Amino acid sequence: MEIEELKEMKPLKFGFYYGSIFGGIAFVYHLLAQYLGFNTTFFYGLIYSFLVLFANMWVCKKYISLKGENETANFSTLMKIGSIFSLTISFFYLVFTFAKIEFIDPNFINTLIELYEEMVAQMNMPEMTLEGDVSSALYISFLVINFIGDFLGNMFYALCISFIFKDRKF
């Protein structure tokens, strides 16, 4: 994309544009980690967090650098960019989670239910079984909770970066 086109973009479109690029990168990262067996380690989440943090910083810095010589970006503008950026990356994470449950590991929800039942048994709680519609509700709630959790984590980064980068020039 031309620099002039980027300069004329509104903050929401700017955040969506770069959120789509980095969301695609994050999607590929999640796929590679899944197939390499790296997704069960501590560093999997740490690397993803650093990816989102530094991508968000880079996008805000890029937006500020495209402003005029005497112009700066205020907090609300940077939060708009960060919010749309975070929402877009979280959407790509939702798509990955859906693909993981449906295509990559179709037994994922059943494994989750088994782990839940084992945990209940270890805690000496009354035994409960999840069947039928409850597992469908678990499936949907798992997707929604993953999306919201990822979005809130990304928004925390956007908030911090917006505070740090407000009224600065690069």
Phi/psi at 168 (nearest 5 deg)? -110, 160
Q: Considering only residues 119 and 155, tell me which one the structure prediction assigns the higher pLDDT.
A: 155
User: Domain ranges in the chain?
Assistant: 3-165
Q: Are 80 and 11 in contact (CB under 8 A)?
A: yes
* pLDDT averaged over every residue in the chain: 91
| CA nearest neighbour of 9 among 152, 70, 20, 167 | 20
Q: What is the pLDDT of residues 130-141, one digit of tens each?
A: 666 667 888 899
H-assigned helices in 40-132: 42-66, 75-99, 108-122
User: Which residues touch 34 (CB under 8 Å, ≥6 apart)?
Assistant: 100, 104
| CA nearest neighbour of 84 among 25, 22, 30, 145 | 22
Q: What is the pLDDT of residues 60-108, one digit of tens each?
A: 999 999 987 778 889 999 999 999 999 999 999 999 999 999 999 999 8
Please, which pLDDT band fits residue 41 given cuts at 50, 70 and 90? very high
- Can you give the pTM of this predicted structure? 0.90
